[in-house]
Amino acid sequence: MNYRHLTPSMSLLLAFEAAARHESYTRAAEELSLTQSAVSRQVQALEKSLGLTLFRREGRQVQLTDVGRLYQREVAEALGKIRSATLQALAFQSGVGTLRLATLPTFGSKWLLPRLHRFYRAHPGMLVHIHSRIEPIDFATSEIDAAIAVGTGELRGLVCHRLQAEELVVIHAPGTAPLAPADVSGQVLLNVADNPQAWPEWFSHHGLAHRAMHLGPSFELTSHLVQAVRAGIGIGLVPRVLVEEELAKGELAWSGEAFASRRSYYLTYPPRNEGLPSLRAFKGWLLGQI
């Protein structure tokens, strides 16, 4: 077999990967600064070279075939490795490391950013670009190098370093009376959307009936829930690490003891990024802070 047929040109692979990810020639063309017809021609040239049908075409719509979906998954991972290798080479040549880090918005603003100056002091010349993300990161298609995430266990296919367990505290408006566990049942319970099991777990931990829960509004960001608690809309159950400043200043009150949830914070990244100098430096610093 001619190995040249097994290594299509980069331009064909980039056009295919973008079209496959969007399942749209138009959106792929916008991303690559090409015309739609140019993307279409490149995908057709790739199909002809491989002898495969990668897309089904229905009018102006395109959909991946089963073999196209398999090929896209492998190509996306390979392109990610090439980008990572290029970044490592550039970082080595310039002597300046750059890390693109995704983190939960409130964790980033309340815990990471107040401490990040220590990293820069220990590693002058390195840069950490912060990207706020709530949803899980798809490292195969994004340009993110690593992420700080919260979950109930390690993520398959990723390197995961457990940072700390999530400890939740019941918070309420300043000046209001402390709440015993039995008193919580009569309160409006505010939620963070990505952790709907927090209050049920807390009620089970204290032997309280779930039917007594009076669930109120949910919020995408913990910081928004905190503002709602301060405004007297209800009470919240939030990670203590995210409200330590407000508790110390008396801007929030809390009752009871911290409750260990099933979740923990993790630093995660794909194995291909393990050799990034910036990631090695940041990982060492972060684990030292914890």
**Identical fold at 3-90 and 96-290?**
no
What residues does 172 pair with on adjacent strands? 253
Of 135, 138, 240, the closest CA to residue 194 belongs to 135
How large a percentage of the chain has pLDDT more than 70?
Answer: 95
What is the helix, strand, coil percentage profile of the chain, to 5? 45, 25, 30
pLDDT surpasses 80 at 267: yes
CA angle at 203 for the pair 199 and 205, rounded to the nearest 5°: 115
pLDDT surpasses 60 at 262: yes
pLDDT surpasses 70 at 92: no
pTM of the model: 0.67
Q: Parse the chain into domains and list their residue ranges.
A: 3-90, 96-290
Mean pLDDT of the region 173-190 = 93
| End-to-end CA separation in angstroms for the chain | 53
Domain 96-290 has CATH 3.30.300.30: no
Tens digits of residue pLDDT in 39-75: 999 999 999 989 999 999 887 789 999 999 999 999 9
Mean pLDDT of the region 163-168 = 93
* pLDDT score for 93: 56
CATH architecture of residue range(s) 3-90: Orthogonal Bundle (1.10)
Tens digits of residue pLDDT in 229-258: 999 999 999 999 999 999 999 999 999 999
Mean pLDDT of the region 203-211 = 94
User: What separation in angstroms does the CA of 30 have from each of 15, 59, 144, 162, 265?
Assistant: 11, 20, 21, 39, 36
* pLDDT score for 96: 56
Q: 22 falls in which pLDDT band (50, 70, 90)?
A: very high
What residues does 162 pair with on adjacent strands? 266
pLDDT surpasses 70 at 3: no
What residues does 183 pair with on adjacent strands? none
